[in-house]
Amino acid sequence: MSTPTTIVLIHGLWMTPSSWDTWAARFRDKGFTVLTPGWPGVGDASPASLRDDPSSLTNRSITEIVDAYDEIIRGLDAPPIIMGHSFGGLFVQMLLDRGLGAAGVGVEPGQPAGVLTLPWPTLRSGLPVLSNPFAKKGAKALTPQHFHYTFGNDLSREDSDREFEASGIPAVNRVFFEGVLSLPRTRTGITRVDYTKADRAPLLIISGELDHVVPPSVHRSLVKQYARGSGVVEHIEYPGRTHRIVSQPGWEEVADHALQWSLDHARPGVPSAQG
C-alpha cells in the first residue's frame, strides 16, 4: 500500500483557487504536492479581474469542468487525495464515481442526483441565479449583500465586504441550473453517481453548522443514500462553521482532520488511469 503524496483541491461556485490558499499552504508545509487548478474559465485569474470581465465563465458546464479535473488526475503518477468545497465537493463525488482518487473529501459539498433535500437557506442562496432561467448561460454577479448571506454570515457586514472584495466572483449560471435540475433524475442526471459502488475510494463529508449554502440536513440525506452501499463514507459536522469553513478562524482543525482521515482511509495504490 502506498501513501498518497499529492492532494488536488477543487474550488466551488463564486470562488477561485485562491479560496484554498490556507489549506494549500498548510498541506505543502507538511510535505505534500498540492494542485489547485481552477475551473475552465476561471483558471488562475484573480477575483477582481473576473468581476470586471466574467465572459470566460459563460456557458461552462458541469461535464466540462469534471472532465478537466479527470484529465489532470489521470495524468498523475499515482492516485491523489481529492478534496472539494461546495460544488467542488460534488465534483469530488463524481470523480470518485469514475474510479479516481485514493480518498475524497467533500467540504460542505453539493449533492448529486437523488438527494432532494433543499432547505430554504439553500434555495435563498441560489435565488439570484435561479430566478432568471433566461440567463442560464450567463454569469451572474455576486453582490456584497448576497455574499454576506452565503459566505460571510459569521462576520459583520463591513468585514464580509472586505472578504468579498478579496475572493468573490460571479456565478457560473449553467453549473447551478444543471446541478439543481439533476436532483430528481437519479439515473439520467448530469450529477448522478452510483451510491452503491463498492470499489469507490473512501469519502468524508464535512458539514458546517451555520452553512447557508449546503446545510447539514442536506449532508445527512446524502449519507443515507451512500449507506445503501458498502463503500466507506463518513460524516462530521463542525459547530459554528459557515460556508467559509476553509478560511474561517479555526480552519486548521478542519484541514488537519480532512488530511488525517484521508491518509488513514486511503485505498491501496492503483494506477491513476483506473476507471
Return per-residue pLDDT of the chain as tens, 275 residues: 579 999 999 999 999 999 999 999 999 999 999 999 999 999 999 999 999 999 999 999 999 999 999 999 999 999 999 999 999 999 999 999 999 999 999 999 999 999 999 899 898 898 888 888 888 999 999 899 999 999 999 999 999 999 999 999 999 999 999 999 999 998 899 999 999 999 999 999 999 999 999 999 999 999 999 999 999 999 999 999 999 999 999 999 999 999 999 999 999 765 444 44
Q: Quick one: pLDDT at residue 164?
A: 95
In a domain? residue 274 = no
Cα 88 from Cα 15, distance rounded (Å): 10
CATH code of 109's domain: 3.40.50.1820
Cα 25 from Cα 29, distance rounded (Å): 6
In a domain? residue 273 = no
Cα 183 from Cα 195, distance rounded (Å): 14
Closest alpha carbon to 98 in 73, 127, 126: 73
In a domain? residue 233 = yes
Q: Quick one: pLDDT at residue 250?
A: 97
In a domain? residue 254 = yes
Q: Quick one: pLDDT at residue 75?
A: 97
In a domain? residue 119 = yes
Q: Quick one: pLDDT at residue 274?
A: 45
Domain that holds residue 233: 6-265
In a domain? residue 132 = yes
In a domain? residue 53 = yes
Beta strands 103-107 and 33-35: pairing type? unpaired
Q: Count CB atoms within 10 A of the CB of residue 48.
A: 12
State CA 211 to chain mean position distance: 13
In a domain? residue 205 = yes
Q: Quick one: pLDDT at residue 43?
A: 95
Which sign, positive or negative, has the C-alpha torsion 129, 142, 206, 122?
negative
Please give the tally of structural domains in the chain.
Answer: 1
